[in-house]
Each structure stands twice: as structure tokens, then as C-alpha cells.
Structure 1
Amino acid sequence: MARKSRKNTGAVIETPVQTSNYFSTAIYVRLSIENSGKDDDGDSIANQISFCKAYLTEHADLKLYGIYEDNGEKGTNFDRPEFKRMMDDIRSGKVKCVLVKDLSRFGRDYIETGEYLEKIFPFMGIRFISITDGYDSLTCDDAEGALMIPLKNMINDVYAKDISRKIITSFRARQEKGEFLPAFAPYGYVKSKQVAYRYEVDQETAPYVRMIFEWKAEGVSHNEICKRLNAMGAVTPARRKVDLGIWRAERYKNTVWFGRTIIDILKNPTYTGCIVYGRIPKSLYEGIKMHRTPEEEWRYVPNAHEPIISQELFDKVQKMFADRAKKFQKKMNENAPLRELVTNHFKGKIYCGDCGKRMRFVKPTDKRYPIDQNHAVYVCGGYLDSGYSRCSRHSIRYPLVAEAVLAAIKVQLEFALKQEQLIRQMRGSEKEKNLIDKYVGRINYLSQELKKLNGRREALFESFAEGILDETEYQFAKKKYDDEAAGIEKKLTDEKAKKAQLDDVLSLSNEWFTAIHKAENITEIDSELVKHLVSSVKIFEDNRVEVELNFKDQRYIFNLIIAEMAGEEHE
């Protein structure tokens, strides 16, 4: 029977009962610039995969489950599509080992990389192998290995920042000379194949750009513009990149128009014939994350290409934005003292359960209702941003969400306090000692068995080298020993992970207890509490609320270990 476990992201882990003598292995490969067959110092996606597959053929205890390719994804963060898919498979119990060519392919941020290698993977019982670094978490228990991996992580991080400094310095110098174009041409343009650093009008999409500006100048709302474009089947910016071969991901083929896309087009001066730099800058080495800058910080190169719209039309639209902003700001200033008391405690945590988009927090502005927390609402962002063409206009008042989350936290708090009390009662008892001895005994026994088996494998090779065994006899016996060793190594890894989990439970100073104690005696929700205890909140069309709390893995493991200490039997 399968067991259910949970990770502190709130995702459910389905862990099947392991009966095989091998590690189900994920090959993870990454290249920061999408590979197109150019020289890449041997780190191309194809070379990484080939390198890892060759390693697998030499290790009988590893069996390929799947290959996860992040082509064109930077290593300075872990917000990568294929990495996320791999982690989902890890949580569901399908993957027990992660194999990479080297640490830099896994990640270049030494803090977050270290978090995975030193905390997350060991906690989840995941074996990690970096081939060229000679690192295998199953066998690397020595002090030198423990020191070298964080050091290499720091080297990778420093390397990434040094590359960032050189690239950004070069880009800024070329921008000043007008010898640099952004990675992608704005919607309505394509990069010229005849003239360097120049845009040409994209005749297929430029008419839509003109329509957007003309409709806006007539006073048409962004949502209505989206509806019109979607109704006429106007190709979206994402779909156009797919059509031109710039992007390859299938998920972009069926995109629709959103309000944010319309605003980005309407505020882009590029359509008047100039090139603009510094609109959304970032700098890794300076510690500057990607962000939108105010217009006064933009840098212009005029008359750089053919305009799609006139300067007069662009200025008219910008004035409409400015007038609307002034009107809105005046209204906000009038209500500022009251609106400051209305807080979105679930920021970044609350999503539509039907379409997956974030729920938009709308503070009360209608004079018919008081401006307070009780009259704030969450509205489906997918519906608003798509011009009402996606999902539905379902909303829910803040108090209903807070009530559901508070109830879920109280249930977890009650459970945690009971678990803590049981552990305190068992501390120092004979049952605790017997359980620790049992775990340590299993590890020692398996370590000795593996040592004996390795000795037999060495003796087998000596017999083959001395001619006592022919190659057929040697290969037959070697496979038998290799399979036995793989089975023992698998069990040893599992037992070490269980021992680490036991130590965490018995310490009473783990993250779960630390966080949950902050919820004692609470009567209302606040942002700090949500940050520590809530993974996500989903709102469905029928106003059903689903709350996913953090530390589900820990709670599951606590339950198993306490049951074992109590002598109970579990499937």
C-alpha cells in the first residue's frame, strides 16, 4: 500500500513502497542560453545528457526515470520549468536520485544550492550526484567532501556575478553608441537581417499595434481591447515569438491577450521610431533584481527605425494614462488613512482554484460600503487580465478567507501540541533508547554488509586478473555482487534519512514546532503568521476555500516516528 507524505510547500507526496534494488534517477541538465549548436565548451544540452547517460551505464544501482532539460534558463535562481517538474516527481516518490554533470548545471546561487544539497534533499531522502565534482551524497561523509561542495557553490556564485559585471559593462557601452538591441524585438517589429542593430516593421502584427493605440485614444478600456483582439484571433506577442522560431515551448501557442500586455504596448515609446534602454533593468553583480524603472530613468536613441504610430498619437495616449493616474491618486489620497488599515495578509499566497491565476486583492472604494478590512474582496486575476475571456468573475470577501485559514491553523496547532506532549513524555524513556539503538543498529549492520560485499568484489577481480575465472564467469558473478551492493546502498540511504528525521523529531527545536508555537492564542490572521504557516490558499467559483499549510512532511514523519515509539504498526 502506498503511503502519503507531504512537503512544506503543501504539495502531496505519494511514496510507493520500494521493492527494487536501484535508485530511480533523474538526469537534470541546464544551459543558460538556449542551445543552437554553437560552441559551448562541451556543456550543450546534448553533451550533458550523453555524459550523464554514460555514467548511468557504469552504475548498476542507478536506473533512469526521466531527463529534465532547462534550455535557456539561468542558474542564479531555481524558478525553472523543468526543475519544478523534477521536484514534483521527487515529491510524488517517482525520483530518488538526482544526477548532474557538474554543480554549476544544478545552480550558481551558493545559498539556495546549499539549501537543496544540505537540507532539502537529505530531508526527502534524495541521493544527489555531481559527476565531474566527484560528489555522491550516498558516500560523501568525509570532512573534505563536506567542505568542498559549499566552496564550489561559492565559486560558481562568484563566477556568475563576474560574468554579469562584464556583460552589463559591455551592454551599457554599446547602448551609448546605439549598437545594442534587447534580446527580443517588441511586438510589431522584427530584427533586421540586412542592417545591424535595427528593427523592421512586422507587417503581420503592426496593424494590431495601431488598433490598440487607436482604440485607447478613443477611450476603449483595456479589458474591452483584450476582448476585441481575442475575438478576432489576433496573434499574441508570445504566440508570435513561437511562429518566428524565437520560442519553442508549446504552452505559448494558445495564449490570449491580457490587460498587462496591452499596457506594456501602450507605454512603449519604441513604436514612435526610437530605441529605449533601461525600462526593465537588472544586474546580478550589483544585486539589482529585474524591475520597472520610472520614465525619467530611461535612455532614448531617436530615429532608430520606422515608426508604427505617430508621436502625436503616442503622446495623446500617455496623457490619458497621466490624467487617469492623477484622478485615481486623488481618490486614493482622500481615502488613504482608512485604506492603510486594509491589508492583504495573503499576498503571494492566494490563487484561483479553477484557473490557477492569483486572486486580485481589491480594497473597498464604493461609498456605499465602509473602507475597512471586512469589505475588501479577492477577485480572480485570470478573469480580469484576460478581458473577461478566461475563467469567471468569482470573488470572495476577505473575512471568509481569514476564517477558513484561521480554522485550518488551529487544527494544526492542536495536532502539534499533542505531538510535542507525546515526545516530551517519551524523552529519556526505554522506548526512545530502543528506537535510537534500532536505527543505529540498522545503519551499522548495513555498513558492515556493504564493506564485506566490497571485499568480495575486490577478491573476485583478483581471481579474474590471475586467470582463475574467465570473463564470462567474472561478469556473471560481478553482476550478482553489483545488484546486491545496489540493494544494500539503497537500504543504507533510507536508514540514514530515517535516522536524521528521528533526530529532528526528538530535538523539539525543529522548524515546525518553532513556527506553530507562534500561533498559540491567536484570534485573528496577520501577515507574519501567514508567511510562516500558510503555503497556499485556493478559491473556487463556488466560494469553496482550500488551505494548504506548511510543514506537511514534518507532520507526517512525526506521526510515523511517534507511532513507532509507541509500538504501533503501520502499513
Structure 2
Amino acid sequence: MARTADRYRKNYVKTKKTDKVYQVGDYLRLSVDSDYTGSDSLENQRKLAQEYISRRPDLNIVREYVDDGKTGTDFSRPAFSRMIADMKAGIIDCVIVKDLSRFGREYIEAGNYIEKVFPFLGVRFISIVDRYDSADADCSRELLLISLKNLMHEMYARDISKKVGSTFRTKQEKGMFYRSATIPYGYKMNGSGTNYMICEQTAPIVREIFKQCGEGISNYAISRWLYDNHVYTPQQYALTGSVYRKPEEELKIWHCSTIKRLLENPVYIGRVIRHQSEQSFFAGKKASPVPEQEQIVIENNHEPIIEKSMFEIVQKILSQTKDKKTESACERQTVVFERNIFQGKLFCGSCKANMVRVGAYRSVNGVKEQYKIFKCSTHRNHCDLCDTRWIAEDLLCDILYGTIRRHLSLIKGIKKKIEKDIRYSFEENLKQTEWKRQKIVSTKNLLEQEYMQKYSDYAEGSISQAAFLQYKSTYHEKIELCGKQENVCAKEVKGIKKCQAALQKLLSDWLCFQNTRKLTETMVEICVDRIELFTDNRVEIKLRYQDCFSVLDSWMQKEV
């Protein structure tokens, strides 16, 4: 039986020869319910596209678009939207996919893109497994087959969505237990994996948290108690299996939101609540909350950790605290917060913890105004564990936008030189490295020939055993040195190719922002790697492609 890769290789679509080189965007998609293995994995999709493009001189891949964990029944995907924007901007004029199911499973919309949108934009579309290439005139007869395949893909997605949903619904209505994505802190699965059982290591921590809250102790004080007693967070416990920190290990802080969620969870009185939200992967609908009266409650599902009386006392305390916060928020809320575009990017320069986004007040022309600032999460929870620092979000946006614009000006100013050096300088460096490698290989060959001659002389008795053994020891040292030098050359080649590819991607990624007038979420995602804030109001920004900018600086210095 022929191998799958060979089958695709032999049957690729033959198109008319042309001198035009298409700028290709490789589109990869993995479903939300995929196990990340098999023929549809991202890595296999990437390899198949790279193999196909390597055999086609008229194709040059410039960008890769990856929608990981996105349903094919909805075309509102982040990477897909960027791909369409790049088509309109003229960055790419060809799209390649493994097969049509990776492109989309909604047949009407998929057919509209293939038959109308792409031809209008002058974009070539290639589906490798389906052997479809819009540049091939003979492929027009395949459009009916493509439409039928898309219809089958949509029907398959609809059928699977309904079956999975009905299975879970049946289990919920029958009161059957099934494991959720995470096991609640304080529990573990029983031996047969059919239900929760109390974890004797972590259950005492849960009881203490409920006890302290019942006594009126705040979540901040409980968080401090957990830290002082070296208790691992639920996330650290899941990773290490240890409840308490060892001397050489890092200890993270229990956030108040984590403690609040734990205190509100009825799982600790043996109650399991199902059908709290609904989501349709097929229809592309996000999870939405289900009304409380429609939720399914399973009482006495497992052994409780907390008495119901204690749980009810804690809920009353939490409810009173929530009411106070709501009233306070209603009095002072004047500005609607937007999404935090610095999530996972902004950190404290001292303790390296995340900077959290909170509201603050300032007076503008005599008018009290609420605005957004970032504060160290460690200091906010425990002021003695880190020093204070904060920065206004609008100021941070101005600093970051200015930094990106300066680097963008550098790229635009020497764009032609960059393109020239990418073509010639890197090729010259590769030639020099290859020449060094060939010289090392020649040296190894001469050493091996010399070794064989010495061994022959030793076998014939021309040289003594002691002399041969001494030579042999020196020979092995020289061969080992040559091997190390070869490895260095291999690393140099890898580094040169990596830098060359990174510079090409730098050009395509950054130049699309040259007409952008303000900082955007996409700009932060593509251009920024990490931001750190220090007590002296110093902001350190680490941009993506930082190594590439170092290369650009060296080129600029040579030019001067």
C-alpha cells in the first residue's frame, strides 16, 4: 500500500508553466475537539504544504496563518481574518490548504470564497489533497465535486455536534456523573475513575479556608495565611502533586478570585451542577449562561468536605460583600473598560508577576474622571512582598506606540538594503560556512587515510605497538575536534537560515502597520514580546524579532 505522503506527491495538480511567482499564505486549522495528533495535526498540515511548495518554483511562502482550536463551521476566525486582510493589502496572492475541511465546513460560505471572493481579489487557491488548483483551467470541472464535499463536511460537523450534545444532555438528565475538565481542589478521582473522592492532602486546606471565611476573615487575609504557610496554589499542586512548597521551589500567591471561586463552589457539599452553559461548535456560538431554573443539580453525588450549614453561612457573607461592592461600583463607575490588550505581556520588573488592570480617578479640567492603570499583582495582594508601582494605560500605549513607530521607521528607511542583504549577504555567509565545513571534511578524510596507513605499517611491523597507540590517541583527539567544528558549522548554518527567515517575516509583519495611527491589539500581539515596569518609572520593552533589529543596527553602522 502506497504511503500517504507519496500519494499526495504523485498526484499533485499540474498547472501551466508561468514566470509569475505567487506569494503564498499557508492556512492551517485544528478543530476544537482535536487530540492534536493524526493526519490533520498542525505539524502534518505544515509539512505537507512545505513539501508541496518545495516542488513548485512558482510558489514562495511568505506567511503562515494558524487557527488552533477553531471550528470550521464559522469563518470568524482570527488567523483567517488576518489572511483576508493580507489578500486585500496585496501581501499574498495565493492560499494553500491541506484539504477543504481545513478551510471550512460551512459549504455555502466556503464555496462563496473559492468561486467568487478569491477570483475577484486575483488570489489563487490550492487544496493539496483534493488536487484542486484554481490556476489550472482543467480544474473547473472539479467545482461540483468540491461543492458536494463541502456539503458533506457541513453535514458531518452538524451530525457530530448533535450527537455529542445529546450524549451529554442524556447523562445530565439521568443524573449520571462525568468528569469535568478539572478536578476541584480538595478532591481526586476514585480508583475506577467514576466519581470524586476526598483528597486527604488538600481537603484540610479547603476546610480551613471555609472556617476562616465563616469567622469573617477577608479573602486578602486568607491569601496571606496560605502564603505564610507555604501552601501551593491549585495550579502548582496540579503540576507538582505537592501541597506545600519545598525550600528550593517558587511559591505563587493565591489570588482572591481563586479563593472566592472555591468558596462559592457547591461541589464541597456533595452537589454537582450541570448544564450551567450552552455552546454550539457547529453554529459557532460562544458559551452562554443557562438560567438557574434550567440547570441540572445532582445532590449527594459524592462525600462532602464542608457541612451545609457552614457553606450557607459563607454564602451569606459573600453575598453581603458583593452587595457592598456593587453599590460602590454603581456610585463611581463612569467609564466603560475595554479589553486588556496587554494580557500576558506586562510584568513587574522586581517580582516578575503580572501587572493587573484596575480603575483609578483623576481630575481633568475640574471634572472627576475614571481611567485605567496597571499595578503589580503581588503588591496589590500583599504590599510587603513587593514595592509599589503603577502606570496609566494611556501613557503605556503612547510609549509603546512611539517605540514601534521608531523601529518601523528604521525598517522603512533601509527596506531596499534589507531586501538586498537578505538575498546576498546571507547567501555569502552560507557559502563561507559551507567552505569551512568542506575544509573540515577534507581534514577528516586525510586523517582517516593517514590512520589506515599507520595501521597498515603497524600490522606489517614497521612501527612499534607503543608508537601506534600513541598515534591512535592523537588521531582520536583530532577526529573529535573535527566533529566539534562540524557541529559549530551546522549551528552557524541553522542560525543564518533562522535569521534570514525571521527578517523576511519581520518585513511582512511590521510593514502592514505603517499606516496605523494608533496602538491596536493586533500590533501588540505581533510586535511585543514582553514589557516590564520598574519603580523608577522605567519601562523596558522587549520587541519580537529583537535579534533581527540588532542585525539591522549593525548594517546601519556599516553603512555609516
Superposed, 1:252-291 pairs within 5 Å as 254-275=251-272
Secondary structure at the aligned position of 1:376 is classed as strand
Amino acid at match of 2:255: F
Q: 1:462 to 1:275 in 2, by over 3 A?
A: farther
Paired positions, count? 401
1:307 aligned partner: 304
Q: Distance in 2 between matches of 1:512 and 1:257?
A: 39
Q: Distance in 2 between matches of 1:198 and 1:171?
A: 18
Q: 1:201 to 1:409 in 2, by over 3 A?
A: closer
Q: CA deviation at 1:266?
A: 0.8
Amino acid at match of 2:220: N
Superposed, 1:314-325 pairs within 5 Å as 314-315=311-312, 317-318=314-315
Q: Does 1:442 align with 2:432?
A: yes
1:350 aligned partner: 346
Amino acid at match of 1:439: N
Q: 1:249 to 1:205 in 2, by over 3 A?
A: closer
Amino acid at match of 1:211: K
Q: CA deviation at 1:245?
A: 5.3
Amino acid at match of 1:442: Q
- Whether the 8 Å contact between 1:227 and 1:389 is mirrored in structure 2 is no
- Whether the 8 Å contact between 2:219 and 2:259 is mirrored in structure 1 is yes
- Whether the 8 Å contact between 1:239 and 1:252 is mirrored in structure 2 is no
Q: CA deviation at 1:416?
A: 2.7
1:122 aligned partner: none
2:73 aligned partner: none
Amino acid at match of 1:355: C
Q: CA deviation at 1:459?
A: 5.8
Q: CA deviation at 1:265?
A: 1.3
Q: Distance in 2 between matches of 1:421 and 1:347?
A: 35
Q: Which stretches in structure 2 are left out of the alignment for 5+ residues?
A: 1-33, 52-97, 103-160, 461-467
Q: 1:398 to 1:415 in 2, by over 3 A?
A: same
1:398 aligned partner: 393
**1:36-73, Cα deviation, whole Å (9 max, x unpaired):** xxxxxxxxxxxxxxxxxxxxxxxxxxxxxxxxxxxxxx
2:544 aligned partner: 550
Q: 1:246 to 1:275 in 2, by over 3 A?
A: farther
Superposed, 1:100-111 pairs within 5 Å as 110=43
- Whether the 8 Å contact between 2:348 and 2:354 is mirrored in structure 1 is yes
Amino acid at match of 2:522: E
Q: CA deviation at 1:304?
A: 3.6
Q: CA deviation at 1:397?
A: 1.9
1:417 aligned partner: 412
1:538 aligned partner: 532
Q: CA deviation at 1:535?
A: 2.0
Amino acid at match of 1:380: C
The partner residue of 1:199 within 189, 197, 201 is 197
**TM-score scaled by length of structure 1:** 0.51
Secondary structure at the aligned position of 1:442 is classed as helix
Q: 1:367 to 1:412 in 2, by over 3 A?
A: closer
Q: 1:183 to 1:485 in 2, by over 3 A?
A: same
**1:495-516, Cα deviation, whole Å (9 max, x unpaired):** 46436645875xxxx2323344
Q: Which moved more, 1:238-247 or 1:511-520?
A: 238-247
Q: Distance in 1 between matches of 2:421 and 2:166?
A: 60
Q: 1:172 to 1:324 in 2, by over 3 A?
A: same
1:481 aligned partner: 479
Secondary structure at the aligned position of 2:375 is classed as strand
Q: CA deviation at 1:411?
A: 3.2
Identity percentage of aligned residues:
17
2:134 aligned partner: none
Q: CA deviation at 1:410?
A: 3.6
Amino acid at match of 1:268: N
Q: CA deviation at 1:554?
A: 0.9
Secondary structure at the aligned position of 2:391 is classed as strand
Q: Distance in 2 between matches of 1:194 and 1:513?
A: 55
Q: CA deviation at 1:481?
A: 3.4
Q: Does 1:514 align with 2:508?
A: yes
Q: CA deviation at 1:186?
A: 4.2
- Whether the 8 Å contact between 1:242 and 1:249 is mirrored in structure 2 is no
**1:250-280, Cα deviation, whole Å (9 max, x unpaired):** 4767444431231121121121123567889
Q: CA deviation at 1:221?
A: 3.9
Q: CA deviation at 1:238?
A: 4.8
Secondary structure at the aligned position of 2:526 is classed as helix
* Structure number with larger C-alpha Rg: 2
Q: Which stretches in structure 1 are left out of the alignment for 5+ residues?
A: 1-74, 78-102, 119-149, 155-164
Q: Which moved more, 1:393-402 or 1:363-372?
A: 363-372
Amino acid at match of 1:309: I
1:209 aligned partner: 209
Q: Does 1:528 align with 2:560?
A: no
Q: 1:365 to 1:271 in 2, by over 3 A?
A: farther
**1:449-473, Cα deviation, whole Å (9 max, x unpaired):** 4554575577679879999769957
Amino acid at match of 2:402: A
- Whether the 8 Å contact between 2:210 and 2:314 is mirrored in structure 1 is no
1:63 aligned partner: none
Q: CA deviation at 1:380?
A: 1.8
Secondary structure at the aligned position of 2:411 is classed as helix
- Whether the 8 Å contact between 1:208 and 1:234 is mirrored in structure 2 is no
**TM-score scaled by length of structure 2:** 0.52
- Whether the 8 Å contact between 2:232 and 2:244 is mirrored in structure 1 is no
Amino acid at match of 1:533: C
Superposed, 1:454-469 pairs within 5 Å as none
Q: Distance in 1 between matches of 2:430 and 2:187?
A: 66
Secondary structure at the aligned position of 1:271 is classed as helix
Q: 1:194 to 1:235 in 2, by over 3 A?
A: farther
Q: Distance in 2 between matches of 1:172 and 1:468?
A: 83
1:380 aligned partner: 376
Q: Distance in 1 between matches of 2:383 and 2:341?
A: 26
Q: 1:212 to 1:319 in 2, by over 3 A?
A: same
Q: CA deviation at 1:559?
A: 3.5
**1:274-326, Cα deviation, whole Å (9 max, x unpaired):** 356788999xx99x9x9998796976542244434343543464466567768
Q: 1:537 to 1:466 in 2, by over 3 A?
A: same
Q: Which moved more, 1:479-488 or 1:536-545?
A: 479-488
1:491 aligned partner: 489
Superposed, 1:333-344 pairs within 5 Å as 339-340=335-336, 342=338, 344=340
Amino acid at match of 2:435: Y
